[in-house]
Amino acid sequence: MLRSIATSTRRFATTNASAEKVWQVYLSGEIHSDWREVIAKGVESKQLPVQLVSPNVSHEDSDDCGAIILGMEEKRTNWDKIGAGMNNIRTKNLIEESDIVVVRFGEKYRQWNAAFDAGYAAALGKSIITLHPPSISHMLKEVNANASVVCEDTEQVVDTLAYVIRGELPTPRDGDEFIPIADRLGAGNPNP
């Protein structure tokens, strides 16, 4: 019996006709919501030259891959170790090849793998964007300290990618309350 993981191995890519660099962005973290698809739609709508990659997001396949490929094991610990080793091949290679690593943490599940991915990316000197609700910021303070950007929602991630890649800024989130830094610091402030 063959099991397809085609939907979990999709690579979302959008490019425009120019010879822009295509940035590889690894999407690490929780697999119980559609945050990856939301980012993919945002990247596509802004026509960013980005290739999105991720771990296998089928929880069952990720857990069972070792037993399916190599056969059943007597002990669950062996089963987990074999599957984790197989998944590690994909994860390590995709993180190493990525320009940016986005790490999503949710409130409901503990994402030890996402924390590990963030640490691995940091050790490799990768640019890291974390994505999580403000309510868990304290628990992630060390992870966030190694991130270049800490986002609260997927729109912020897409806007960050648009700025980093093309220098495009969205309308300020604070609307009319936004005050440019030159105005906040006053006259005589040396502008770049």
pTM for the full predicted model: 0.84
Q: Give 171's DSSP letter.
A: S
CA–CA distance from 192 to each of 162, 171, 188 (Å)?
21, 21, 12
Beta carbons within 10 angstroms of residue 40's beta carbon: 21
Three-state secondary structure call for residue 51: strand
For range 136-160, the mean pLDDT: 96
Would the CA dihedral through 140, 145, 151, 157 be positive or negative?
negative
Three-state secondary structure call for residue 101: strand
**Residue 119: exposed, middle, or buried by beta-carbon count in 10 A (0-12, 13-18, 19+)?**
middle
Helix H or strand E encompassing 116: helix 112-123
β-bridge mates for residue 13, sequence order: 51
pLDDT digits (tens, 9 = 90+) for 88-145: 999 999 999 999 999 999 888 778 889 999 999 999 999 999 999 999 999 999 999 9
Q: Are 67 and 94 in contact (CB under 8 A)?
A: no
Average pLDDT, whole number, for the chain? 86
pLDDT digits (tens, 9 = 90+) for 15-41: 444 578 999 999 999 888 999 999 999
